[in-house]
Amino acid sequence: MKKKNCIFIIFLSFIMILSGWTGKKPEPISETHVSENEQPEHHSNLTVQVQKPVSFWRLQQEFPNIVVIRGIGNKIALTFDDGPSAKYTPQILNVLKKYNVKATFFMMGAKVSKYPYIVKRVAQEGHAIGNHTYWHPNLGKATVEQMKWEIAETEKALNKIVGIKPKLFRPPFGSLTREQTIELGKLNLTTVMWSVDSNDWKQLPAEQIKNNVLNHIHPGAVVLFHDGGHWTQDLSGTVEALELIIPKLQEDGFTFVTIPQLFHL
For residue 151, report the phi and psi dihedrals to the nearest 5 degrees: -65, -45
Please state whether beta strands 190-192 and 168-169 pair in parallel, antiparallel, or not at all (unpaired). parallel
- Known catalytic membership, residue 234: no
- Is residue 198 within 8 A of residue 241, CB to CB? The reply is yes
Q: List the one residue out of 72, 58, 73 whose CA is nearest residue 191.
A: 58
Mapping DSSP onto H, E and C, the string for 139-207 reads: HHHCCHHHHHHHHHHHHHHHHHHHCCCCCEECCHHHCECHHHHHHHHHCCCEEECCCEECCHHHCCCHH
CA distances for 194 relative to 32, 57, 126, angstroms: 39, 10, 21
Per annotation, catalytic residue among 127, 132, 136, 226: 226
Percent helix, strand, coil in the chain, to 5, is 45, 15, 40
Per annotation, catalytic residue among 42, 81, 136, 218: 81
- Is residue 144 within 8 A of residue 184, CB to CB? The reply is no
**CA–CA gap between residue 250 and residue 255 (Å, rounded):** 7
- Known catalytic membership, residue 82: no
Active site residues: 81, 226
